[in-house]
Amino acid sequence: MLFERIESEGLAHYSYIIGDRTQAIVIDPRRDCDIYIQKAREAGCRIAHILETHRHEDFVVGSIELSVKTGAQIWHADADLNYKYGTAVQDGQEWRVGRFKIEAVETPGHTTGSMSYLLYDPDKTPWVVFTGDTLFAGGVGRTDLLGTDRIEQMSGYLYDSIFTSILSLNDGVIVCPAHGSGSVCAESIAERTWTTVGLERKFNPMLQFDDRETFIKNVGKELERPPYFKKMEKLNVRGPPLLSSLQRPAALSPLDFEERMEDSFVLDTRFELEFGAAHVPGALSIWEQGLASFVGWFVPYTKRIILVPRTEDPLPALTQLYRMGYDDVAGFLPGGMVAWHMSGRPSERIETMTVQELCTRIDDKEGTWILDVRGKGEIAQNGAIPGAHNIHLTQLPEAINDVPKDRTVFIFCGSGLRSMTAASLLKRNGWDNVKVVLGGLAGWSSSTCPLDQTP
C-alpha cells in the first residue's frame, strides 16, 4: 500500500497520497504536483481521483494541474460555491482504492461545506481521518472567514462536526489535517508531527470545553486575516492557470534589470547577511524558505516581480511564489550582486550588529529604539528584551508610523531573518537608521544579556 504525507515547506501545508494495487487518490494537492505522479509511478498506481477538503485560502491548490497531467477526476467540497472545475462531493460518497474505502463526511465550520475523508482498512475498520482545516493537532480551524456576523454560527457548526462526527471515532484513528504548526488557518497548532483522535480528545485544549456554548465562546474569534486570502479564495474557485502556460522569467542583464525596476517589485531571496552587506536599491528581503510565509503580506499581486535569487537557479523561489499565486515573475539577475557591482551600479546596505553590541546600549533609552517583530506567542513563550517595542512583522506595514525616524532602530526577531525583512521594508519607506541584530533571541538567550521571562 502507498500512504504518504507531502509537506510543503513555508506553508505548513500537508497533502496526502493513498494508493493500493493499481489506483491512487490525492487529497489537497499543491500546485507543483509532479511529486504525486512520481510517488504513484513508483508504487505502480494510477492517480484516479483528487479530493479537496475545502476551498483553501492560504495557497493555490493543484487539483487542475494534477488532473491535466493524470486524467484524474476532481472532487471538491463547498458545493455552495460557484466552482468552475470538478464535481461537488456529497456527504457519504465513497471511493475505492484497491482493498481500501474512503468515505466523505461533511464537517462544516471552517467553511460551510468542508469535508473530511474517512479511510477504512480492508477489514472495514476506520483507520485514518483526513480532517482538512476542521481539526488540527492541538487546535481547530478558524471560523471567522465568512465575516464577524457569522462567527458564532460557524463555530457552532465546527463544534457539531468535531464532537459528533470526528470524536465519535475510536481513539486509535489517525488524524491527518491539511496543516501543521505555523499555519495561519488556526489560532494555534501543536508541533506534533502525527496525532490520533485519542490524543486530540485528551490533549487538544480546544476540545476540553464542557459544552457547545463554551466551545463557541472560546473558538469564535476574529483572527488576523492575511491580505492574500482573497486572492487565494478566487483562484481556488475558478481554478488557477496551468504552470505550463506561464511565461518563464528571463535572465536579465544588470542594465535590463535596472530598466525594469521602475514598474516592478524587486524581491531578494538571499539570507540576511548577504542582503545586509549589499542589495539592489529598493529591494525587499525575504529569504527563500520564508517566501510562502511572508510574500503575501508585503507584495501586491498587481506588481510584476523581478528576482535576486539566492543561487543561480531561481526555480526554488519561483516554486514558492507560484504556490502563493504570484505568476507574474518577469525576470531574475544571474550572477546576483557580483554582476550588479561589476556593471558599476550602486547598491545599498543595512547595518548589522551582534547581541552583545545591543546589550551594551539597552539602557540608552533616548538613542536606542528596539523593535521586536516576533509574534506575541513567541514572546510569551521565550521571553522579551527589556524595553523593546513589539510590532509583529506582518503588522508592520499598518503600524509603520509607530516606528520613529529620529532614533536608531534596532530590529530583533528569533534569528535575524525576519528582522532583515522588517529592515528592508522600513528602508523602502524612508527609514535610514535601522540595524539588524544578528542571532535574534537565540543569540540573546545564549548570552548574559537581560531577558524578561514574563513580559
pLDDT, tens only, 346-403: 999 999 999 999 999 888 877 889 999 999 989 998 999 999 999 999 999 999 999 9
Flag whether 450 is in a domain. no
* Dihedral, CA of residue 56, residue 57, residue 58 and residue 63, to nearest 10: 30
What CATH number is attached to the domain comprising 429? 3.40.250.10
Q: Do 329 and 370 share a domain, yes or no?
A: no
Is the predicted pLDDT of residue 186 greater than 90, yes or no? no
For 11, the domain range is 2-232
Flag whether 253 is in a domain. yes
Confidence of residue 454 (pLDDT cuts 50, 70, 90): low
Q: Do 221 and 282 share a domain, yes or no?
A: no
pLDDT of res. 293? 93
Q: How far apart are CA 70 and CA 46, in angstroms?
A: 8
User: How many domains is the chain built from?
Assistant: 3
Q: Do 367 and 325 share a domain, yes or no?
A: no
Is the predicted pLDDT of residue 160 greater than 60, yes or no? yes
What is the per-residue pLDDT across 12-24, written as a single tens digit (0 to 9) for each? Answer: 999 999 999 999 9
Q: For the stretch 262-282, what's the b/e string if a residue is b when 16 or more beta carbons lie within 10 angstroms of its beta carbon? A: eebbbbbbbbbebbbebbbee
What average pLDDT score do residues 426-439 get? Answer: 96
pLDDT of res. 10? 83
What DSSP state is assigned to residue 215? H
Of the residues 207, 232, 257, which one is the last residue of a structural domain? 232
Flag whether 117 is in a domain. yes
Q: Do 334 and 355 share a domain, yes or no?
A: no
Flag whether 238 is in a domain. no
CA angle 183, 188, 189 (to 5 degrees): 65
- Which residues are bridge partners to 115 per DSSP? 106
> Does the pTM exceed 0.75?
yes
Of the residues 342, 362, 389, which one is the last residue of a structural domain? 342
What average pLDDT score do residues 80-88 get? Answer: 96
What is the per-residue pLDDT across 304-334, written as a single tens digit (0 to 9) for each? Answer: 999 999 999 999 999 999 999 999 999 999 9
- Which residues are bridge partners to 199 per DSSP? none
Q: Do 214 and 290 share a domain, yes or no?
A: no
Q: How far apart are CA 176 and CA 116, in angstroms?
A: 10
pLDDT of res. 126? 98
Helix (H, G, I), strand (E, B) or coil at 251: strand
Flag whether 169 is in a domain. yes
Q: Do 22 and 108 share a domain, yes or no?
A: yes
Mean pLDDT over each residue of the chain, to the nearest integer: 96
